[in-house]
Amino acid sequence: MLRHEIKGIKSRQGFTLIEVMIAIFVLSVGMLGTSAMLLEGQRTAVNTSSETLANEIASNVAERMRANIAGVSQGAYNLFTSAGATAFVSCINTTGCNPTQKAEFDAYMANQEIQYLFPDSAEGVVTVTGNGLGSVYTISVDWKEAVRTSDTTGAIVNRNYTMIFEP
């Protein structure tokens, strides 16, 4: 008879409450890690986008310098800056512009590009340093960018992209 009663007891199947709680904890830790990875990916995408825009501005300045070799030879780009540049002469048609005026117009166009592509950066500036034809020039694009911090208040950081080339 004892044997019959043991056979009749059905074994329980399923999970205990502790096992369910541990599984939920492990799952939640994994989801937290995934959300942190997604936020980091989004931040990296924003940084990459900004650097791509800065690269575009620097490449445009380099192409303008190559198109104005006479201005490079005369040193018009040696201390080039877009800060406060104004277009007193429109050199879109290149007629009526000497190489120095063309360089000044290029500074104005660089200023317009940085203001358009980085609208939140009122202090964006493009600078070029070099020493005339045959030397290596450095084109530097500087801008301010809002970044999200850990306390979600955000901060403004200075960003920079530098291109080195020889016209």
The DSSP code for 97 is -
Answer yes or no: is 154 within a domain.
Answer: yes
Answer yes or no: is 4 within a domain.
Answer: no
Answer yes or no: is 157 within a domain.
Answer: yes
Answer yes or no: is 3 within a domain.
Answer: no
Answer yes or no: is 58 within a domain.
Answer: yes
Q: What percent of the chain has pLDDT over 90?
A: 19
Answer yes or no: is 11 within a domain.
Answer: no
The Cα–Cα gap between 155 and 56 comes to 25
Answer yes or no: is 8 within a domain.
Answer: no
Q: Which residues contact 22 (CB under 8 A, 6 or more apart)?
A: none
* pLDDT of the residue at 88: 66
The Cα–Cα gap between 154 and 156 comes to 7
* Structural domains of the chain, count: 1
* pLDDT of the residue at 62: 92
pTM of the model: 0.70
Domain of residue 74, residue span:
16-165
User: What number is the average pLDDT over the span 138-164?
Assistant: 81
Answer yes or no: is 143 within a domain.
Answer: yes
